[in-house]
Amino acid sequence: MDLNELQSLYDFSGRTALVTGGAGVLGSEIACALLGCNANVVILDRDQGLAQQVIEKFPKTVKGRAARVFGDVLDLASLNQANETIKTEFGPVDILVNAAGGNHPSATTQPDLSFFDLPLDALRHVGDLNLLGTILPCQVFGRVMAEREEGVILNVSSMNAFRPLTRIPAYSAAKAAINNFTQWLAVHMAQNYSPRIRVNAIAPGFFITKQNRFLLTDKDSGELTARGQSVVAHTPMGRFGTPEDLLGATLWLVSPASAFVTGAVIPIDGGFSAFSGV
Ligand SMILES: NC(=O)c1ccc[n+]([C@@H]2O[C@H](COP(=O)([O-])OP(=O)(O)OC[C@H]3O[C@@H](n4cnc5c(N)ncnc54)[C@H](OP(=O)(O)O)[C@@H]3O)[C@@H](O)[C@H]2O)c1
């Protein structure tokens, strides 16, 4: 064992990390952690005002630089443009974190909206955002990794990928597809380009954020809904996750500490996926 190497596993100096959906609750925390480990970090999101606010909250006493770039993960032209901008400013992307995603109320069954009536455009939006919104960035930034024969991709799956939750069929199916795609791309990159390109995913449990607050808390009282209470009851650790809970596994998966790990999906869920409910 080389002690110096061991101690520098989480030093990303000189590396460029891109976080899609980096202005979101989980993406911004991941971006902040990468910056804290000395990476140059670029937040890709649609709302540039929000992305700027996120960057302003980042610590200033770090080696790396933080920047934002406009990008829509469903629009290849904007991703290609972002790639060019990042290459000019920072060099090629070494670490891609695909954190853009989420569910939408219009693709969620309600007492007055049955599965049979869920609108096509809502189903398509959620399916596309979560699956194509990961595949397209992997095409654009993964191509650069393939050319350089190195790089790390981290996708964001969900508990829905293992067993679907009620009410959100498009989101559940798309996240299951993310697990499958993570394995597929891991094999494809290792066999066709380089074993030094790794592709993994985290599967967060339940974290209250913009995209699921309407399901987990009552909008008037702020109290947990019956669904929110059920989530906590089915989480052996008895609480929701906090964004910081994701950081250990995330940094491990994008660092050389996991050099022999590819195609893995790591639950970060307080035990939710291990619990039968009895
Ligand atoms: N929160 C949880 O409990 C949980 C659990 C498991 C998995 N996840 C996953 O974790 C990831 C992050 O979610 P989050 O909870 O942090 O949600 P969030 O706060 O809503 O963050 C998602 C971010 O993605 C952005 N985004 C949406 N569509 C985009 C597009 N087409 N192009 C670029 N950016 C886009 C959103 O921007 P806009 O505001 O402009 O839409 C937002 O900034 C998602 O993949 C989600 O499915 C979350």
Measure 211 CA to ligand 1 centroid, in angstroms.
Answer: 7
Could you tell me if the CB of 33 is within 6 A of ligand 1? Answer: no
pLDDT of 256-272, one tens digit each? 999 999 999 999 999 99
CA of 266 to the centre of ligand 1 (A): 18
- Does the Cβ of 206 fall within 6 Å of ligand 1? yes
171 assigned to active site: yes
Q: What is the pLDDT of residues 96-150, one digit of tens each?
A: 999 999 999 999 999 999 999 999 999 999 999 999 999 999 999 999 999 999 9
**From the alpha carbon of 73, which atom of ligand 1 is closest?**
32
C-alpha dihedral (7, 13, 14, 17), degrees to nearest 10: 100
Cβ of 82 less than 6 Å from ligand 1: no
Q: What pLDDT is stored for residue 2 in this prediction? A: 87
Task: Per-residue pLDDT tens, the chain, 278 aa: give them.
Answer: 788 888 899 999 999 999 999 999 999 999 999 999 999 999 999 999 999 999 999 999 899 999 999 999 999 999 999 999 999 999 999 999 999 999 999 999 999 999 999 999 999 999 999 999 999 999 999 999 999 999 999 999 999 999 999 999 999 999 999 999 999 999 999 999 999 999 999 999 999 998 899 999 999 999 999 999 999 999 999 999 999 999 999 999 999 999 999 999 999 999 999 999 99
Let me know: does 132 contact 144? Beta carbons within 8 Å.
no
Spatial contact of 100 and 24, defined as CB atoms under 8 Å apart: yes
What's the pLDDT score for residue 1? 77
For residue 74 and ligand 1, the question of a CB distance below 6 A is answered with yes
Count of beta carbons in the 10 Å neighbourhood of residue 244: 10
- Close Cβ partners of 121 (under 8 Å, ≥ 6 residues apart): none
Q: What is the pTM of this model?
A: 0.97
* Ligand 1 geometric centre to CA of 201 (Å): 15
CA torsion angle for 123, 127, 130, 132 (degrees, to 10)? -140
Whether residue 237 contacts residue 229, with contact meaning beta carbons closer than 8 Å, is answered with: no
Task: State residue 70's pLDDT score.
Answer: 98
Counting ligand 1 atoms within 8 A of each CB, the residue from 52, 70, 75, 210 with the most, and so the one to mutate, is: 210
Ligand 1 probe mutation, 26, 54, 202, most atoms within 8 A of CB: 26
Structure tokens at 174: 């798309």
